[in-house]
Amino acid sequence: MPLNYSKVFREIQNFASGAARLKREREKQQEKALELLHGWGEKAEDLRYRVAVAAEIASYVHLAAPTEEPINATFPPPPTENCAERVLFLAADGSQIEPNPHGALFYALVNVGVVVMAGHETPRTLIESRFYDPETLLENRPDIPLQRDLAERQALAKAVAAWQGEPKAEQEWRDLMDGLPQPEAVVTLTDGPLELWGAKDATGGFAEALKEYLKSLHSLLAAHRQAPPAVLTAGYVDKPHADPVVQLLRLAAIGETATPEQIKAELERRPPRFAAISDAALFRRLLAPGERSAIFRLVSRSREDYTGDLALHFFYLNASPTTGRAAIARVEIPAWVTKDPKAVQTLHAALLWQTRHVPNAPYPYILHRAHEEAVVRRGDRETVERWLTGALAENNVPLGSRSAKQILKDLTANH
């Protein structure tokens, strides 16, 4: 029997019986949080002070800090007409084959799909693949998902550099970007946070990956400074679960005044205030279709890595075209985008235009296409392993063997 069905069934029934109570508690917390959001809309300076104290007390915080826009502000959807002509879109998405230490072949692979949309022409595509051999895996122990995320941003930087005529650009990138129309803005997108995630320790190569990642962001910033056109980069987080704005409201809930001791007590409070709600739940109530929230600065343990024009910011977007069912996304952007209201409006319009391509699925079409290009399917894996097996045989290198554990797992999987 694959599951203890009776136990799982009982636990589902217990959850469902309390779901109505949890729903009422969630709605109560949402009302209180919305009340605070509106009540503190014009108290940015006080909130920034509280965030600064909280960040000094606890390095692990993941908080939103107010910018120049009131925290309860909403911005209507800008016109999306002629976005195809006005904006050059680039997106990158990746997938990977993780190394299997129990398999007969020990290797890994990162695959990145790049898509370019300009005017009304057919989207252009390019695929970058990197094979990790056993020696590289054993010596460097790379974090493969981390390398995938890095490769996505590097691909966008390469594409923009080739488009701007970088002499050192490889021919395949020149071919991809050749002959494109001159837009008013370039929008580069990846799926997920703009902040690079990974285990920040000595293994996995995070420090080196971060260095290369920041280099790619600086490359995009340099391209932006050559404007026009503006180069706007963003990370798109669909259906987010994080709560940096809710955490900001926890600090507001302390009262009209807050001492460092009170802020520390709030950070240590268990369970945390508003524990039942996320930012998405909050902005689902606040944002009408197509609207965006105020821009917030992200205060996290990575803030010292992303400074100046690279400082991380975000806003929430209701990508839904209709009322009744909100589609909340968090859009992460660097500081250089936030400094120009026209750039923010252009990005807002461009994202809405992208999310209107597929009915009932308000998600940037170009990111979906990039995923389709990048995904590694079973046939791809089988081809790589067949080539690897053949190359080893040609060079008289004995093939490894599966572990006993893997042999038994394979037997179970086949029955």
Q: Could you report the average pLDDT of every consecutive run of 10 residues in the chain (415 residues)? A: 87 90 92 97 96 94 96 97 93 97 94 95 96 92 94 98 94 96 95 86 78 97 91 98 97 96 96 95 96 97 94 98 94 97 97 93 97 96 95 90 87 73
What's the Cα-to-Cα distance from 347 to each of 61, 297, 354, rounded to whole Å? 28, 17, 10
pLDDT value for 399: 84
DSSP for residue 204: B
Segment 351-358 long-range contacts (CB within 8 Å, at least 24 positions apart): 351/234, 351/236, 351/317, 351/319, 352/77, 352/78, 352/80, 352/290, 352/317, 352/319, 353/80, 353/83, 353/84, 353/87, 354/89, 355/319, 355/321, 355/327, 356/80, 356/321
pLDDT value for 398: 87
Instruction: Provide the pairing of β-strand 124-132 with 230-238.
Output: unpaired
Report phi then psi at 74, rounded to 5.
-130, 150
As a whole number of angstroms, the distance between CA 397 and CA 245 comes to 56
As a whole number of angstroms, the distance between CA 290 and CA 75 comes to 9
- Quote the pTM value: 0.94
Q: Which residue has the tokens 């122990």?
A: 141
pLDDT value for 188: 98
Task: Give the type of residue at 221.
Answer: L
Domain map (residue ranges) of the chain: 29-74+237-369, 83-175+198-219+375-413
pLDDT value for 130: 97
As a whole number of angstroms, the distance between CA 47 and CA 309 comes to 22
Beta bridge partners of 329: 238, 317
